[in-house]
A and B are shown apart, each in its own frame.
Chain A
Amino acid sequence: MQSPTLRPAMRRYTMRLLVLLALYVAALVGTKLWFRAAAPEGLLAYAAAILPALPILGVFATIGRLLIEMDDEYVRMLLVRQTLIATAFMLSVTTSWGFLNAFDLAPRIELYWPTVLWFGGLGVGGAVNALLERRAGA
């Protein structure tokens, strides 16, 4: 997320994000090694396979907490705009891709790609915010 000022809420968000990213890497590497060494079966396989997704769900919750905890209302408005742009970006790309796929012009994609696109959209949203702020001379 864009960090116009490093307020306490933003510092807490950054710390939570770093912890969750470390957990994601650990879960992803651990699960891959687990499946390679001795693939779990049954319900355990489902539980193990979903492990890397949990820290990503945590990131969504962390972004939600940031929006709640941010005490600077203008910065909060910027963050909300950033997340809305990210959502619009992700939905636009996936909708277009879906129709391309329907007409056999693009391959099917894995369902975690929309999440990757959404995080990319946060970058787009941050860039839009920065551009508008710069244009306003802020």
Chain B
Amino acid sequence: MNNRLRDLRAERGWSQQALADLLDVSRQSVNAIETGRYDPSLPLAFKIADVFALAIEDVFLNPPKETQP
């Protein structure tokens, strides 16, 4: 599942470790989510959206909708 995590993090000038600290997860986890190697659980996805003060669909892209013309 694609997401805008890297862009959102860059906009705020946060390192992966800084975001990991805010989410109480490892930097490895942030990297894995950011690179699309791991899809977070719903609770973690909501937590990520909360940290950026955005709705979940503004962070994570819905694959079927993404491919619609």
A74 to B31 Cα, complex, angstroms: 10
Which size bracket describes the interface of A in this complex? 10 to 19
A138 touching B32, Cβ below 8 Å = yes
Q: Are A74 and B35 in contact (CB under 8 A)?
A: no
B27 touches A73 (CB 8 A): no
Complexed CA–CA distance, A137 and B6 (Å): 14
Contact flags A96-138 to B (C-beta < 8 A → 1, else 0):
0000000000000000000000000000000000000100111
Do B44 and A73 touch across chains, with their CB atoms under 8 A apart? yes
Chain A residue nearest to B44 (CB atoms) is A73
Q: Are A74 and B29 interface neighbours, CB within 8 A?
A: yes
A71/B24 in contact, CB under 8 A: yes
- Using A77-B38, A136-B37 as known contacts, say yes or no to A72 and B31 having CB atoms under 8 A apart: no
| Cβ distance B61 to chain A, nearest Cβ, rounded Å | 19
- Tell me, in angstroms, the Cα distance from A90 to B17 when the chains sit together: 36
Closest B residue to A4 by beta carbon equals B28
B24 touches A74 (CB 8 A): no
A65 interfacial contact with B, CB 8 Å: no
Q: A136-B31, A136-B35, A138-B32 are in contact. Are A73 and B24 (CB under 8 A)?
A: no
Query: In the bound complex, do residue A74 and residue B27 qualify as a contact, i.e. CB atoms below 8 Å apart?
Result: no
> Nearest Cβ in chain B — how far from A137, in angstroms?
8
Q: Which of the residues A5, A136, A137 comes within 8 Å of B26, measured between beta carbons?
A: A5
A81 to chain B, nearest CB (A): 11
Binding site for B on A (CB under 8 A): 4-5, 7, 71-75, 77-78, 133, 136-138
B residues engaging A (CB < 8 A)? Answer: 24-29, 31-33, 35, 37-38, 40-41, 44
Can you list 24 contacts pairing A with B, beta carbon distance less than 8 Å?
A5-B26, A5-B27, A5-B28, A7-B26, A71-B24, A72-B25, A72-B26, A73-B29, A74-B25, A74-B26, A74-B28, A74-B32, A75-B28, A75-B29, A77-B38, A78-B28, A133-B28, A136-B31, A136-B32, A136-B35, A136-B37, A138-B28, A138-B31, A138-B32
